[in-house]
Amino acid sequence: MSEGWINVGDAERAAAERLEPGPLGYFAGGAGEELTLRENLEAWRRWRLRPRVLVDTSETTTATELFGEPLSMPLLVAPVAYQRLAHPEGEIGMARAAAAAGTVFCLSTLATTLPAEVAEAAPGGRHWFQLYRFRDEGVTRALTEEAVAAGFEAIVVTVDAPPGGNRERDLRTSFEIPADVGVPSVAAALGVRRAVTLAETFELMTRAMGWPDLADLAAEASVPVLVKGILTAEDAILAVEYGAAAIVVSNHGGRQLDRSPASGDVLAEIVDAVDGRIPVLVDGGIRRGVDAVVALALGADAVLVGRPALWGLAAGGEAGASRVLELLRAELELALALCGCTSPGDLSRAHLQRAPATSVYSRQ
């Protein structure tokens, strides 16, 4: 069925039909009034592309590299928790789809699959591990060590949670993580397997992490340590100073602080502050190849997608996630060529102008 999708919106509609109200609200929802959630989408649409013509684009490629390693495209799969709630194939299906697409799969701490199982199921894939620090350091350490031992190439420390955001959709549906959806990290932290609420899960994590802890982590790790959840130039500069290998400009898909700015609205100031010292990645609201083109033209080295790949997985398992990644890659390649670029690195701010203030189309 996923072969018939012609854009990410088709996957989203198919997923919404398939998922129960609780999981659907959990995956789709944001915090509070969901203003940041909506603005994440809008921010990319407030730009127009300035195409250059009469450029030989017959050899256009989306291929790029990050930390010196090749990627088929500058679009990665963001960490999304509890993927078996979306589809029985869960993180295994997602990791295989990312591997087939030639891009990175980032496994959440709150995954329903262990890092070693992911590595075994998607052996050719490139895997990163997203880290939430538990109050029980032993739990975090065991998971991280397992990920690195299983060949995971980077640690992505998420710094915009805990605490968890005020997700009102989950409150309305009384959403809980069912006991039969095993979450190894939470089971280890609790010592038992039972149904848990999201609030309870975030309570298992430490809120006491500071910049020196990041520096310690980066110094101790044998792989690059990225920081995910940066929204200001000030924090971007601190991240560089405290040893981050890269940053991810992100508001957690609008799920944490409602009224935090859209990632697309702060990307330029952060790129300027970092000034090329480390790679800058960004996520939030990327739904089309042209969204990614705007982000790259603003100076991002790569983008990540959370919900788009998740909708593909929810509606079609591995094949659905693969379809979404291929649609996005093809859209990106087409948009590059139509901008007069033969690779992502050709994009610059000269390819952008602000949308007219009165445009009605940005709201569609």
Ligand X SMILES: Cc1cc2nc3c(=O)[nH]c(=O)nc-3n(C[C@H](O)[C@H](O)[C@H](O)COP(=O)(O)O)c2cc1C
- CB nearer to ligand X: give 171 or 337: 171
**Minimum distance, C-beta of residue 119 to ligand X, in the bound complex (Å):** 19
Q: Closest residue to ligand X, Cβ-based?
A: 306
Q: Cα-Cα-Cα-Cα dihedral of 69, 317, 164, 252, to 10°?
A: 40
**Minimum distance, C-beta of residue 276 to ligand X, in the bound complex (Å):** 23
**Minimum distance, C-beta of residue 59 to ligand X, in the bound complex (Å):** 30
- What single-letter amino acid sits at 30? G
In the structure encoding, which two tokens stand for residue 53, read together?
A: 């013509």
For the chain, how many residues are written? 364
**Minimum distance, C-beta of residue 51 to ligand X, in the bound complex (Å):** 26
- CB nearer to ligand X: give 253 or 316: 253
Marked catalytic residue, from 87, 127, 252, 351: 252
**Minimum distance, C-beta of residue 47 to ligand X, in the bound complex (Å):** 17
Q: Which residues contact 127 (CB under 8 A, 6 or more apart)?
A: 95, 104, 105, 106, 107, 115, 118, 119, 147, 150, 151, 152, 153
Interface residues with ligand X (CB under 6 A) are: 26-27, 40, 78-81, 108, 110, 130, 158, 228, 250, 252-253, 255, 283-286, 305-307
Report the distance separating Cα 274 and Cα 53, nearest Å: 31
Q: Which residues contact 88 (CB under 8 A, 6 or more apart)?
A: 317
- CB nearer to ligand X: give 132 or 242: 132
**Minimum distance, C-beta of residue 56 to ligand X, in the bound complex (Å):** 33
CA atoms within 13 A on the CB side of 209: 25
Report the distance separating Cα 42 and Cα 304, nearest Å: 17
- CB nearer to ligand X: give 175 or 242: 175
Give phi and psi for 356, each to the nearest 5: -60, 140
**Minimum distance, C-beta of residue 277 to ligand X, in the bound complex (Å):** 22
Between the alpha carbon of residue 9 and those of residues 129, 180, 309, the distances in Å are 28, 30, 11
**How many CB atoms lie under 10 A from the CB of residue 42?**
14
**Residue 351 is among the residues annotated as catalytic for this protein:** no
Q: Find the farthest-apart pair of alpha carbons in the chain and give their distance in angstroms, rounded.
A: 64
- CB nearer to ligand X: give 113 or 130: 130
**How many CB atoms lie under 10 A from the CB of residue 227?**
29
- CB nearer to ligand X: give 111 or 319: 111
Report the distance separating Cα 183 and Cα 91, nearest Å: 12
Report the distance separating Cα 90 and Cα 107, nearest Å: 11
Q: Where are the alpha helices (DSSP H) in the chain?
A: 8-18, 21-28, 35-45, 90-101, 115-121, 137-149, 168-172, 184-190, 198-203, 211-220, 233-241, 263-274, 289-298, 307-338
- CB nearer to ligand X: give 106 or 335: 106
Catalytic positions, please? 252
